[in-house]
Amino acid sequence: MKEYLRLIETHTPGPRCDVTPLFADPAAFAQLTADLSAPFADMSLDYVAGIDALGFVLGAAMALRLGKGFIPIRKRGKLPVAALAAEFVDYTGQRKGAGNSPGTAATGRPGVGGG
């Protein structure tokens, strides 16, 4: 197991774990970002996309590490600019709408978009 995974608090109320201790440790966060980005280092990508909250934190860090642009994906009407609309099913099984930048396509791997 990666050492940084020990920083994730799993004994929290509700269905989610608390990952903020991992983000507070710069070395652990850097290693997590490196590990998440490694499979994409040799791919021809234009952008990294992240879905809401946690996706914004991890996606932006991955984009920076990979030297790519970042596309935030949010519910319809939540972005401050014009965006294309798309629908997706979130982790609860609910259908939601999201915006993305025109001309971009997701690779099918979480958090990464390419052109």
Report the chain's mean pLDDT, rounded to a whole number.
81
Give me the pLDDT at residue 94, please: 75
d(CA 81, CA 92) in angstroms, rounded, equals 27
CB-count burial class (<10 Å; 0-12, 13-18, 19+) for 41: exposed
Architecture of domain 18-114: 3-Layer(aba) Sandwich (3.40)
Q: How many CA atoms lie within 13 A of 50 on its CB side?
A: 18
Q: Is the pTM of this model over 0.85?
A: no
pLDDT in tens, 70-105: 988 887 777 677 766 667 676 777 776 654 444 444
Mean pLDDT over 27-52 rounds to 94
34 or 73: which leads in pLDDT? 34
